[in-house]
Amino acid sequence: MYLAYDYPLLNVFWTMLWFFLWVLWIILLFRIITDIFRDKDMSGWAKAGWLVLTILLPFLGVLVYVIARGKDMGRREIAQARAQQRDFDAYVREAASGGTRPSSVDELARLSELRSRGDITAEEFDRAKALVLTDDRTAPSPDPRPGRS
């Protein structure tokens, strides 16, 4: 009946603080374990050593890991986020364009037709054909006719 008197407000505060710190500790431990496996520069034995250290001596292992590799841990996470964003942007561009991109054969056929109609010269055809065959698609393809881009 008088349970509130048995557990004062300050004890509730300390319990909540310790619970919050415990949850924070678990999150940090899982982020470190994820980072151990994410690091491509670390050998298998080094990964195993860090993993054993963080599991058998969790407080010391996590503290040493954060001190020794904390800066690189952030860099790896940023690199992974950028790679995911790049992949997502490429997927969106591909989906927005309908997923169809003219093949090299289609482009060569179009160039051949332009040459046969006389719209481009043989030299322009050879230059454009070389671009198609090297699959240089990073730059927008200019109009092969001189003075028209």
Question: Closest Cα partner for 101 from 127, 129, 135, 128?
Answer: 135
The residue segments making up the domain with residue 122 are 102-149
> What pTM does this model have?
0.52
Are 62 and 109 in a shared domain? no
Are 10 and 62 in a shared domain? yes
**Average pLDDT score, the chain:** 83
Structure tokens at 142: 């200019």
- H helix runs in 43-99, sequence order: 44-56, 58-96
pLDDT in tens, 80-89: 899 999 999 8
pLDDT band per the 50, 70, 90 thresholds, residue 121? confident
pLDDT in tens, 14-52: 999 999 999 999 999 999 999 999 888 889 999 999 999
Q: How many CB atoms lie within 10 A of CB 68?
A: 11
Structure tokens at 97: 């364009």
Count the domains in the chain: 2
Are 60 and 112 in a shared domain? no
